[in-house]
């Protein structure tokens, strides 16, 4: 509540800004004072004040979470980490990321699954359609290597394209697991009939979608598909033959229209060879 906030209370984030003139990523401390909505910025490398504390009406507490992009006086900043322990303790549990993966058996239903994700209050922050190599599949399912179904699982996950998404909301890991339902789709149809696996899965392996069980698993799996080092991760599914490019603009993404676009392509029997989400920097 803004009326009860101490005007000296502040939340600190580490932010990056791409400087087009120097072709460099510059790093700043971004300080936000919720009591009066003011901001302050410090240049991390040069140890100097970049922006003195200034009232700024276009930044709000709900905008501040790791991975988000915010505009501060026409600079698009990417929030990459918490700047102090207080901020991490106070805000760390408010927003959480996890991996949502649509398996080969449910690719044709991806539009409907994305709609379920949007309606559950998730924000899709990254998305990529890809084909896993056997090695990538082994790395992904390393936790299951002692299970009797391991070889069948590896064979299945490499039979066709998958869609990997980074999704965000409060308590994301638990909420995504709840939406998925039990791992075996037969059990899901009995115990959680409205779950994704009940609606779109077949059995314990061909069960439509996947989600990690813990913070550690989520971090490991997201790093495989969306490397923090800036690498590409698994190869996308582009064919570059007899094709065109369809761009979904930001307002349509924010209005949850990705699912409609995807579903229309399959209803009209148009093959979608690649599905990617990108953020563009202002130059």
- Active-site positions? 210
Measuring CA to CA, which residue among 225, 232, 192, 188 is closest to residue 207?
Answer: 188
Instruction: Compute CA distances 22 → 14, 17, 69, 71, 283, whole Å.
Output: 20, 11, 20, 19, 11
Contacts of 3 (CB under 8 A, 6+ apart): none
Measured CA to CA, the distance from residue 253 to residue 134 in angstroms comes to 32
Measured CA to CA, the distance from residue 59 to residue 38 in angstroms comes to 9
């Amino acid at each position: 509540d803004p009326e009860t906030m101490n005007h000296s209370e502040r939340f600190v984030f580490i932010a990056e800004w791409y400087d087009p003139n120097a072709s460099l990523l510059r790093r700043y401390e971004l300080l936000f004072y919720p009591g009066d909505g003011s901001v302050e910025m410090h240049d991390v490398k040069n140890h100097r004040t970049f922006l003195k504390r200034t009232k700024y009406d276009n930044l709000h507490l709900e905008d501040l979470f790791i991975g988000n992009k915010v505009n501060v006086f026409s600079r698009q900043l990417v929030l990459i980490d918490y700047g102090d322990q207080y901020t991490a303790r106070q805000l760390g549990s408010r927003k959480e990321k996890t991996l949502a993966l649509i398996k080969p058996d449910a690719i044709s239903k991806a539009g409907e699954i994305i709609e379920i994700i949007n309606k559950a209050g998730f924000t899709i922050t990254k998305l990529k359609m890809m084909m896993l190599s056997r090695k990538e599949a082994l790395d992904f399912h390393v936790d299951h290597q002692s299970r009797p179904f391991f070889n069948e699982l590896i064979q299945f996950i490499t039979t066709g394209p998958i869609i990997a998404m980074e999704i965000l909301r409060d308590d994301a890991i638990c909420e995504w697991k709840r939406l998925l339902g039990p791992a075996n789709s037969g059990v899901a149809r009995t115990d959680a009939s409205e779950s994704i696996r009940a609606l779109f899965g077949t059995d314990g392996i061909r069960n439509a979608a996947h989600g990690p069980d813990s913070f550690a698993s989520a971090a490991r799996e997201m790093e495989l598909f969306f490397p923090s080092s800036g690498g590409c991760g698994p190869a996308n599914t582009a064919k570059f033959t007899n094709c065109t490019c369809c761009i979904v603009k930001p307002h349509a993404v924010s209005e949850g229209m990705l699912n409609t676009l995807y579903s229309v392509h399959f209803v009209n029997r148009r093959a979608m060879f690649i599905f990617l989400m990108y953020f563009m920097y202002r130059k």
